[in-house]
Amino acid sequence: MNARKLACLTTAITGLAFGAAGAARAEDTPAPAAAAAPAGPTPLTTPAMSSSLSSNADPLNADLGPLGKIWVSGQVTGFLDFQTAAPSNSAKRKGDVSNLQIEVQKTDGVFQFYVQAGLYNFPSLGTPIGTSPRITESTFKYVPVAYIKIVPNAAFNVEIGELPTLIGAEYTFTFQNLNINRGLLWNQEPAISRGIQANYTQGPLTVSASVNDGYFSEHYSTLSGLVSYTVSPKDTVAFAASGNIDKTSRSTFVTPVAQNNGTIWNLLWTHTDGPWVINPYIQYSTTPKDNSLGLGSSASTFGGAILAKYSFNPMFNLAGRAEYISSSGSQVALLYGTKSNAWSLTLTPTFQFKTYFVRGELAYTKIESGTVGSEFGRFGNKSEQTRLTVETGVLF
C-alpha cells in the first residue's frame, strides 16, 4: 500500500471545500419547491438523469403489504450510427438496442433497494462501437446496478452493492445523458463499482464517501469521495476524487490496469438559468510507474469540457458538448498513443412527448497529436472522425 497516496486521497475526501459529481451530480439538484405547489406524481430520482430527457412522472407501482410500495420503470430504446474512419472491428453503419432495461426499487422506509437489469450499449466518442450483447457481456453483465440502501434518517444513508461511480459529469447509459455518445473525458473514468457508500446531506451540502473496487476490478482498495454545495438556486459547485491505495493486476474490458491503479479528480460547476443548463468541468488523472504491472512510466491526463442545454419548450431542447483532453507519459498510452491529445464537439437536438422521445446527434472528434496505429480508421492512421447518431424509444 502506498502511504503517501493514501494520505493525499484521505485529505482530498475528508477536507474538500466544495462539491462533486456522480450519484449527486449538480445538474440534478432540484430547486426548492414552491410552498403552494399542487400535489401530483413525483418522478423517481433513480436512475439519475440529466435534464435532456425526462423519466416517466407516474411509473408503475404496487403495494406489496409488508414489503411496502414497489416501483417499476424502464427503457426500450434503439440507435442508428453512421461514422467515418471506422476501425477494423467496428462497422461504418450500425443499428442496435441502446437500452432494453427495467428498474425495480423501493424508495421509502429504513430498508430500501434498487435493481437495474437488462441489455444496454454506451457508445462513446473515439472508441469502437460494439454490439449491445457483446457490450453487456463484456462489461457489467445483465444486472449492472443493484444495491440495498439503509436509511436511518433523512440526512444519512448507506448503500451496498454495485453502484454508479461518484466520478465525472456524465452517466453511464444513453438515456441518462444530454448526449447519445459519451465523451472523451468519460472514457477515462470508472462507470460502475462494487462497494459500500455513505451519503450525508445537510442543507446545501451533500457529502458521499465510498470504499469500492474502482474500475470493476473485484479488488476493494479504491477510495472515492464527493462533496457538492449549492451556492444559490442557480449555482452548484462540486469536487470528486477517487484513487487506488493498493495495486491490482486485473485487466478486463472495463478494468484498464493503468487507470485502475491510479487516481482521478474532478472540479465541476453547474449553472441553471431559465431555459439554460451549463455544466463546465475539469478533470485530472494520474497512473503510476510499476514495472510489475507493465507500466514502464507514470502518466497523466488533463482535460476540460462544457456541457450545455437550451430548452425551447417543454418538448424540445438542444444540448451540446465541447471538450479537450491531453496525456503525458513516455511509455503508457492513455489516449491515442503516448503524449497524445484530442478534442470533440457534439450537438444533440431532442424531442420528447410524454414517454416517447427521438433525438439526433452530430459529433466530430479530432486527434491533434497521436501515434499511427492508435488513431482512427482501419489502419489506425486517421486523425478525424465524424459521427451521426439517431436514438429513439420509450421511457416507461
Residue 210 counted as domain residue: yes
Residue 120 counted as domain residue: yes
Q: What's residue 27's pLDDT?
A: 39
How distant, in Å, are the alpha carbons of 79, 80, 111, 177, 362 from that of 127? 16, 16, 40, 18, 16
Q: What's residue 18's pLDDT?
A: 34
Residue 43 counted as domain residue: no
Q: What's residue 41's pLDDT?
A: 57
Number of domains into which the chain is organized: 1
Domain of 306, in residue numbers:
3-28+51-395
Q: What's residue 94's pLDDT?
A: 86
Residue 325 counted as domain residue: yes
Residue 33 counted as domain residue: no
Q: What's residue 320's pLDDT?
A: 98
What is the biggest distance separating any 2 CA atoms in the chain, rounded to whole angstroms?
Answer: 63
Residue 37 counted as domain residue: no
**338: domain CATH number?**
2.40.160.10
77 grid coordinates: 430504446
pLDDT along the chain (396 residues), means of 10: 41 37 39 41 84 94 92 98 88 90 97 98 94 96 98 98 98 98 98 98 98 98 98 98 96 96 98 98 97 94 98 98 96 94 98 98 97 94 97 98
